[in-house]
A = this chain, B = another copy of it.
Amino acid sequence: MVIVMEAGSSPGQIAYIKEKLQKAGCQAHVSYGTSRIIIGVIGEDTRRKLEDMAIKAIPGVEKIFSILKPYKLASREFMPEDTLVQVGNVVVGGKEVQVIAGPCAIESEGQALKTAFAVKKSGATLFRGGAFKPRTSPYSFQGLGEEALKIMAKVREETGLQIVTEVMDTDTLPLVAEYADVLQIGTRNMQNYQLLKKLGEYRKPVLLKRGSSASVEEWLLAAEYILTGGNYQVILCERGIRTFANNTRYTLDLSVVPLIKSLTHLPIMVDPSHSTGKWQLVPPMSNAAIAAGADGIIVEVHPNPEEALSDGAQSLTLENFNSMMQNLRAVAGAVGRA
């Protein structure tokens, strides 16, 4: 159930209602929009409880309605305004399109810094890099771990770019969270509920990639696991789905971008690198993502893709990234973004 408060309702009124709800065994999630305040109520039998408590009669309450979708806090009905996720000075979900760029895996300080300075100059606003890598084979390079996190901290210090990196499990979550500005959940972990629940306890933005065979509903329910924990800073990320079409690594499902915008208030980004698996397709698909309404992209860039320890085939060179960025801003402008 959702309780909408009148424009001028006071903090005291909010607090009073929250208290009543908690006593009745309900969870209360408060969202502060520009024109009104919304209280999401989660729990069993919430409709009856709200009636029993006569919540509607409490001063400041404008209306009460139920959300029929299986996801509640993630739904547009719960929050009609777009969620803006703040990462340092960068706002994801606003007018400006954000570009997260960097190597698949952090390989050395030199590689990381060189890439970071270059992508920043080209217009990237956030830096990505893998420290703990989920690899299909136990014999593949698994990432530099904490060393990579330290390198990224140095990158942030030197370039001012905030850091996006993947967290793979609950064991390394505290360590990763010490360093990262945005905690990325990879496609294989989209339904790792234990991890999602733990992320709900943090107050750091989460970049939640879509599972490669997840429906939109399953994806938003995964976000719901984080939101119910009280962490409302979730960025969705489409990264391709598994289909019969083997001409690209995955099939980039761009139609979900406008669909997601209608179903949820959460921002959505697109990963054209992992989805296509081919660097040549990254610039046109980045343009397409922004034209479809995405709030940004996350792309793999490497100073020397042929020598990359992972995913070289899908990494842009620094030069290719730079020329892509020129075009991307023009497309952003054409659809009313910056």
Contact = CB atoms under 8 A, between A and B. Distances in A.
Nearest to A135: B193
A25 to B, nearest CB: 14
Interface residues of A, number: 72
A137 to B, nearest CB: 5
Contact of A247 (B191, B193, B256, B292): B256
Interface stretch (A99-107, A216-224, A302-310): A216-224
Contacts of A71: 137
A299 B215 CA distance: 25
Given A136-B218, A192-B192, A335-B287, A241 B251 contact: yes
A280 interface: yes
A313 interface: no
Contacts of A289: 288
A137 B217 CA distance: 9
Contact of A169 (B72, B170, B256, B280): B170
B259 A248 contact: yes
Given A134-B191, A255-B251, A333-B334, A245 B281 contact: no
Interface in A164-214: 168-172, 188-189, 191-195, 197, 211-213
A255 B193 contact: no
A284 B211 CA distance: 23
Contacts of A291: 284, 287-288, 290-292, 331
Interface of A: 42, 70-72, 134-139, 168-172, 188-189, 191-195, 197, 211-213, 215-218, 221, 224-225, 228, 241-248, 251-259, 262, 275-276, 278, 280-281, 284-285, 287-293, 327, 330-331, 333-335
10 contacts: A169-B170, A169-B194, A215-B247, A243-B251, A248-B256, A252-B254, A254-B254, A255-B275, A284-B292, A290-B291
Given A247-B259, A287-B334, A331-B331, 9 more contacts: A134-B193, A215-B245, A241-B243, A245-B256, A248-B256, A251-B255, A252-B254, A254-B285, A287-B292
